Chain A
């Protein structure tokens, strides 16, 4: 007598073949040892000019990185990128970062926290360890900011795991005042002698002394501003003058300024400038650049005769 199962097999050969196929599929063994995991975390060191726009700095520091207690270092590329091996036995890695620029050395500490997950791929392939939830700690460093960008490390990362920002602080508290000796219209080239330039705030003492300014020449005076005031008076003593000094008044304001990746900075802005009542020698005061920034050579200029 024909067995029920065999009769079924005849009628449903496709199902039987499918079952056999699945049986073969079920017996597969893992044979691929390739993984994308690594313990190398990628850091990008980015240097910015902090004047309100995210402009990259031209001068890149030489960056060497040591692990705590180690003497082998890894060096960042010229673009500021470096791949650093995380401690495979702990969930935290402390790195010492040595930055060098024109013989100036800065030492910083970066702490990277992360999670690890281990698995045995197969007896043939061995164990594998995945690093993820990469989270830097910036408390111990002088970097402007350290930002996590890609939380999982991989052998072929599309972007860095961590960005480290260093910002050149470009805001200044020093007013650049330029005194221009104007042409007085005659044919004789006069020379002005400025005995002293001083201010009513800041450290006692002269900002400049004994300057000789030829006709059409100029002299620049750096005037530190007081964060607790909003006005400053600068006094100019001219040797050939009939009065002891001439006065220049500058009104300014102070606020704070920050771009997202940099530290907060004080920002001084010039509101107005004017001379004393007698404008015979000092005239045409003008603001050339409101913002006090180290890249601005002159904030205020005024003519002398």
Chain B
């Protein structure tokens, strides 16, 4: 499914290129035009709405002609406990905590020609496609009580093995992955921009085979998935170098 979706977006972008290739690009190829500093709105919103989560993400992008050199950083702290009215398959209480940080680095390319149809400079409204290498480091712990399906003559569980409370934890585990990203950035007012990044995350690698698969890898999402889509909204401030 995800491959199909990603294939679709690539085809969509490829459809842009032939028409735009005829346009005259008067801009220097890697001319420094400004700096974009952004904060992830959805991460901040999550921090506000979920008391058990602290989640921040920031992005800085140097505009070089139609390209952006992007660096992203963020950190996540979260805790999860069993939900009382859940359809918990094991019906056993648990507690999960995690904290860690991440960074991403990679280029974006602007695919949107300007209003004069003269160049693709990336310091204004843009529709972009980008690539990222990402790395996260986290520590997490899962505490839960085991349950045994074998029942005693009275029908009680834990007949073969008694209930045992176990804690599994990772300390400073490293995960790496790659991203293909696409999105839009639109000017709201003067140097204020609003944008979103759609990210396809793949080639996730958990180094050193952790016993506990992280529930959430900072910057990646669900740790048990080898690949996934994610979405980020950003509020940007542009520091222009050149008009």
User: Chain A interface (Cβ within 8 Å of chain B)?
Assistant: 1, 3-5, 7-8, 12, 14-15, 18-19, 21-23, 25-28, 30, 33-35, 38-40, 67, 70, 72, 74, 85, 87-89, 115-121, 123-129
| A5 and B125 contact, CB distance less than 8 A | yes
B146-183 vs A: 1/0 string, CB under 8 Å?
10111010000001110010101000000000000011
Return the 4 tightest CB-CB contacts between A and B, nearest first: A26-B231, A119-B213, A88-B146, A26-B229
Closest chain-A Cβ to B189's Cβ sits at a distance in Å of 13
**Complex interface: chain B residues within 8 A of A33 (CB):** 87-89
Contact status of A125 and B87, CB under 8 A, knowing A19-B184, A22-B229: yes
Closest chain-A Cβ to B146's Cβ sits at a distance in Å of 4
Closest chain-B Cβ to A25's Cβ sits at a distance in Å of 5
With A and B bound together, what is the CA distance between A21 and B9 in angstroms? 10
- Contacting residues of chain B (1-42) with chain A, CB-CB under 8 angstroms: 5, 8-9, 12-13, 15-16
Instruction: Answer whether residue B80 sits at the interface, using C-beta atoms and an 8 A cutoff.
Output: yes
Instruction: Answer whether residue B205 sits at the interface, using C-beta atoms and an 8 A cutoff.
Output: no
| B223 and A119 contact, CB distance less than 8 A | yes
With A and B bound together, what is the CA distance between A35 and B91 in angstroms? 14
A-B contact pairs, 24 of them (CB 8 A): A4-B115, A8-B127, A22-B198, A23-B196, A25-B229, A28-B229, A30-B222, A33-B89, A67-B161, A85-B150, A85-B161, A88-B146, A115-B211, A117-B213, A118-B142, A118-B213, A119-B215, A119-B224, A123-B80, A124-B86, A126-B92, A127-B90, A127-B96, A127-B144
Closest chain-B Cβ to A253's Cβ sits at a distance in Å of 51
Closest chain-A Cβ to B42's Cβ sits at a distance in Å of 10
Instruction: Answer whether residue B191 sits at the interface, using C-beta atoms and an 8 A cutoff.
Output: no
Instruction: Answer whether residue B132 sits at the interface, using C-beta atoms and an 8 A cutoff.
Output: no
| A120 and B87 contact, CB distance less than 8 A | no
* Cβ-neighbour of A119 out of B112, B164, B212 (below 8 A): B212
* Other A-B pairs beyond A25-B5, A85-B150, A126-B90, 6, CB < 8 Å: A19-B184, A22-B5, A118-B212, A123-B83, A125-B87, A128-B89
* Cβ-neighbour of A26 out of B87, B199, B224 (below 8 A): B199
